[in-house]
Every structure is written in structure tokens, then in C-alpha cells.
Homo-oligomer: A and B are copies of this chain.
Amino acid sequence: MFRIGEFSRIARVSGRLLRYYDSIGLLSPQRVDPATGYRYYTADQLGRLNRVLALKELGLTLDQVARLLEETISVEEIRGMLTLRKAELERSLGEQAARLRHVESRLQQIDEQGRLADYDVVLKPVAAQSFLALRRTFAGMDEAVATLRELARETARQVPIDARGALVVVAHSDFEDEQLDLEIGFVLARSINRRIATTDGRALAIGELPAVDRMATLVRRGPDYQSHLAFGALGLWMDANDYAIAGPGREVFLELPFQRPDQHDTVMEIQFPVARAA
């Protein structure tokens, strides 16, 4: 019989750990002196302790270790738990590797630019949203901006404020195209009955912005003519982290533009659905 100190030296663990394992019923001493509360361990129990430590080393929680050590558990259940753990480890290995790539790409950006990158790309899931919008092709940016401006004005006038969500532009065409296939509208917070139309008679149609579980997002502030910088940053990020565009991008206006005449800066969130590159 060893007292806790000697046993902890033999096992090379702390006494605190032994007391903790006792308190959660994972490894109780063979005998506890009822008068003094002293814990007495036997050499045998080192085997059990080692089993606990070995299973813990696999990354299992102490709860899981306890279940694995119950005598009523079947081999299949043990296999199941370990298989589960294996899958989890594989997933987290992938995540760790991705993190490492992220760090490396930030370091590379610092070396190239002499400072921390200007834009930060964040990956988030986005839920589906009801979307009231107008889809058409535009001959150029100027035309698109004019329509955007008009729509911002009209919705502000015609749509109740509590139904009005953010103004969003969805780009269905690549940026290299001559013709811009855009969908311009705003998110509906609740359904409305009113018909909204532009001055040239086109009516906005209700559709849905589909949910995207891996949306690369980036916040940009500044005048329009600098927007290529933000897109460049997004491209770099996807390159460095092995992502590819997986759907039409969106521009979400957080501060409505054109609200005051002196307001040149707009704040928008640029969003792109992405997927792991092959």
C-alpha cells in the first residue's frame, strides 16, 4: 500500500490529479482510512491509472475514458468510440493544417507588403434570406450604379422600415464580361404586399438568396474606385488557402450609400461562396 505521495512519484503524476480522479470516480484508492481520510493505493492500481493515461493521450475526455473502462461496455461500443475519435482527429488535423497555411500566408503578406494585410477575410455560414430584387444586364458600371442609387431611393420611400433589410448586389457574371448580369435589391425582414418598381417600369421580384455554409467575407470601406484592392485581397486569400469561388458573389451595403451629398465612403461586405479547391 502506498500513500498518495509515493504512488504519485511511482506513477509520475501529481497528487492533485490522483485526488481529482478519485473525486470523479475514475480511479479510487484501494482503501481510504475512515478516520483520517488518507488514501492508500496498491501497485495494481498503477495498471488502471496507466490505462486512463493512455486513453486520455488519445484525446478522449475523462468522461469517455470512464465509459470505456466500465465493465459493462462491449467491444463494439469501444470500437465505435475509437472510430468516432479517429474521424474527429482527422477533421481537426485538417483544420490545423488549414490554420498553418493561414499563418504562413499572413507571414508572406507581411514580407511582401511590409505590414499586416489591409483586409481580413473571414469564413462564415450565411442563412437563406428573402430577397426583393431586380435582375438585368448592364452595359457598364455607371449604369449599374445609377440603378442602385435609384433603388436605394425608391425602397427608402416605399418600403416600411421594419421590412427593409440590407441593400445587396448579386453578381451573376464574371467581372471580365462586357455585360454585367446583376441582381440588385434588398433583403426582406418580413413579407410585404406592396409592388415596387423602378422609373422605367420594371418591377422588383421576390426571390431567395440561398444559404451558403462557407461564405468568404470581407469588409471594405472607401470610395468605389478602390474596390479592386479588396477583390485582390480576396483572391490572394483564396489562393493561399486553397479555396475557389463556388457561386455568385454578393456586395452587401452596410451603410447605405448616397444618403448625404458629402458621403463618398461606403461600407460594404463583399461575400463569395467558396469551396475547397481540388
Chain A residues packing against B (C-beta within 8 Å) = 10, 12, 43-44, 46-47, 50-51, 53-55, 57-59, 68, 75, 78-79, 82-83, 85-86, 89-90, 92-93, 96-97, 99-100, 102-104, 106-107, 110-111, 114-116, 120-126, 166, 217-219, 221, 254-255, 267, 269
Contact = CB atoms under 8 A, between A and B. Distances in A.
A75 B125 contact: no
A98 to B, nearest CB: 9
B121 A103 contact: no
Contacts of A53: 120, 122
A57 B219 contact: no
Contacts of A124: 12
A79 B269 contact: no
A110 B80 CA distance: 11
Contacts of A218: 50
5 tightest A-B CB contacts, nearest first: A43-B267, A54-B120, A43-B254, A51-B120, A50-B120
B93 A97 contact: yes
A44 B102 CA distance: 24
Given A44-B221, A122-B54, A85 B110 contact: no
Contact of A254 (B46, B68, B96, B267): B46
Contacts of A51: 120
Given A57-B123, A90-B100, A93-B97, 5 more contacts: A43-B255, A44-B267, A82-B106, A82-B107, A89-B103
Contacts of A75: 110, 114-116
